[in-house]
Amino acid sequence: MPDAAAPVVLELSKVVKSFGAVIALRSGSLRLQTGSIHALIGENGAGKSTLVKIVAGLYRRDGGEFRLDGEEVDFTSTAQSKAAGIAVIYQEPTLFPDLSVTENIFMGRQLTGRLGRIDRKAMRHEVERLFTRLGVTIDPDRPAEGLSIADQQVIEIAKAVSLDAKVLIMDEPTAALSGVEVDRLFAIARSLRDEGRGLIFISHRFDEVFALCDTVTVMRDGSYISTTPIADTTPAELVRQMVGRDVTDLFPKQDAEIGEPLLEVAGLTSPGVFHDIAFTVRAGEIVGLAGLVGAGRSEVARAIFGVDDYREGTVTMKGRRIRRGRPTEAMRAGIALVPEDRRKQGLVIESGVGRNITMAIRRQLSHFGLITTGIENRAAREWASRLEVKSHALDTVAATLSGGNQQKVVLAKWLATRPDVLIIDEPTRGIDVGTKSEVHRLLSQLAGEGMGILMISSELPEVLGMADRVLVMREGRITAEIDRADATSENVMFAATHATQEHAA
């Protein structure tokens, strides 16, 4: 708990930002004290990212006040914001893959000696000192290419610390981290706080907000709602402030009749990625695939769908073999894959909503090999309205939609193919609470209609609430299969983190 009298390092009040006709930020306010970890929460599209980008110097505000250490500031570039002592760690770390860890930390402000010669030795010493202080072991000479997201974030933090940043903003840093990695990150965050820095922590996970932060600011629809000490509030209260209504049932799984086996996977192996994967998905069933990030879950999904190759094993759909490496065959057999990375793998980001939705059914839509926008939009409208995609028109470019709406578009694209089995990877990552429960309701409804769903998720409550059966993967192997009735966060987490083979099935 920061001292109430602790100086305010960063203060934004009634900040406004609009892009053309779209108002991204109506009235953003934030007061960050030194020695505090301040949570910033709100649904997607609430204006958190815009606020952060203004602080980072990526955007310039249209109005309102922005003070750093009591002085009015106005950044026109990221370099200025950085020089003023502000460090931002983005959701997806931005490192130079070809350069060494040390170079990444010092890029743009390398220590130099005579003639502007870079002093590699001094830089390396400094990095070793930083890493010791942060309690991590990363080889300073290795290239950034191939580092886990957790390690990449550590490098971003090391950068911020070496800059001696007064303000550290972390935008959903834990989205891709395992439990151990989250603990390490939190330990580092606390020690930075104790050094008197101000931290802003953006997250969708309430347990983390309550475990780490001392103050919380809620935003909604581009406006400031409230700031409260964390001790004086509850998750239910925060959710209410975020959505402006009560969200009682986050994970409304309806009972569905479980029928015939649809998708059967046996002995699937790809050396170095996953080993001996076997499971069945039946009609009307939601199978949760839990595990830590990097356990190989997405890779299994990609292999089943035929995007990636595998060495051994079989994939059968309703008794028919699907040859490996044939996504078209998988699609024709009735499998759909909603990937984790919507922007890169799920959408043609520059295309309109209508075109994106009809992307997977173009063959059926074409007349004599031709497709018109009219045909596309007619087909897309049904799904767009069923999923309540919020966009002005079907020709709205997908890139401009919020994360939740993008996810709905990707879902609509695959549902338009009327699949029997839906493989969905992290269905609600980066999606706000309101849309989250909509996605859950939809999945549950689809299962009720007899679809088999394989749901990959890193969020335990989601897995426990939605899945009829939970498969847990750890380092490329299935370590447990647990029925809905027996599944608890403890036994799922245990299987995800411990090597002991615990085949319940």
Task: By CB under 8 A, name the binding residues for another protein.
Answer: 57-58, 77-82, 90, 94-99, 103, 107-110, 112, 116-118, 139, 141-143, 145-146, 148, 272-273, 294, 475-476
Q: Could you tell me the two tokens for 147? A: 């580092």
For residues 139 and 101, the answer to whether their CB atoms sit within 8 Å is yes
- Strand bridging mode 261-270 / 421-425: unpaired
Smallest separation (angstroms) from another protein to the CB of 347 = 18
Cβ nearer to another protein, comparing 114 with 392: 114
Which CB, 95 or 431, lies closer to another protein?
95
In the complex with another protein, the residue whose CB is nearer, 146 or 319, is 146
Closest separation in Å from C-beta 101 to another protein: 9
In whole angstroms, how close is the CB of 118 to another protein at the nearest point? 5
> With respect to another protein, which residue has the nearer C-beta, 295 or 384?
295
- CB of residue 96 vs another protein: minimum separation in angstroms? 4
3-state secondary structure of 420: coil
Which stretches of 268-352 are DSSP H helices?
Answer: 297-305, 327-332
In this complex, which beta carbon is closest to another protein, that of residue 145 or of residue 207?
145
User: Least separation, in Å, of the C-beta of 221 and another protein?
Assistant: 27
**Contact (CB, 8 A) for 294 and 178:** yes
Burial 429-460 (b: 16+ CB within 10 A, else e): bbbbbbbbbbbbebbbebbeebbbbbbbbbbb
Report helix, strand or coil for 25.
strand
Q: Which residues contact 317 (CB under 8 A, 6 or more apart)?
A: 262, 263, 264, 330, 333, 334, 335, 420, 421
Q: Is the Cβ of residue 212 or residue 301 nearer to another protein in the bound state?
A: 301
> CB 435 → another protein: shortest distance, Å?
27
Distance set, CA 117 to CA 111, 112, 140 (Å): 8, 5, 20
Q: How far is CA 23 from the centre of its chain?
A: 24
Amino acid sitting at position 483: D
Q: Which is nearer to another protein, 150 or 433 (CB)?
A: 150
Cα 63 to Cα 61: distance, rounded to the nearest angstrom: 6
Q: In sequence order, what are the beta bridge partners of 336? A: 422
Which alpha helices (H) appear in 88-225, and where do they start and end?
101-106, 120-134, 149-162, 179-194, 206-212
Minimum distance from residue 85 beta carbon to another protein (Å): 13
Contact 222, 25 (CB under 8 A): yes
> What Rg do the C-alpha atoms of the chain give, in angstroms?
24
Please identify, using beta-carbon distances, which residue of 70 and 108 lies nearer to another protein.
108
Give min distance, CB of 75 to another protein, in A: 10
Cβ at position 144, least distance to another protein in Å: 9
Which residue, 170 or 218, has its beta carbon nearer to another protein?
170
Q: How far is the CB of 140 from another protein (least distance, A)?
A: 9
How are strands ordered across the β-sheet holding 167-171?
71-72, 63-68, 8-19, 22-33, 223-229, 215-220, 36-41, 198-202, 167-171, 86-89
User: What distance in Å separates the CA atoms of residue 436 and residue 43, rounded to the nearest whole number?
Assistant: 10
CB of residue 141 vs another protein: minimum separation in angstroms?
A: 5
Three-class DSSP category at 473: strand
Nearest to residue 443, comparing CAs of 316, 175, 301, 256? 256
Residue 58 or 371: which CB sits closer to another protein? 58
Residue with Cβ nearer another protein (143 or 430) = 143
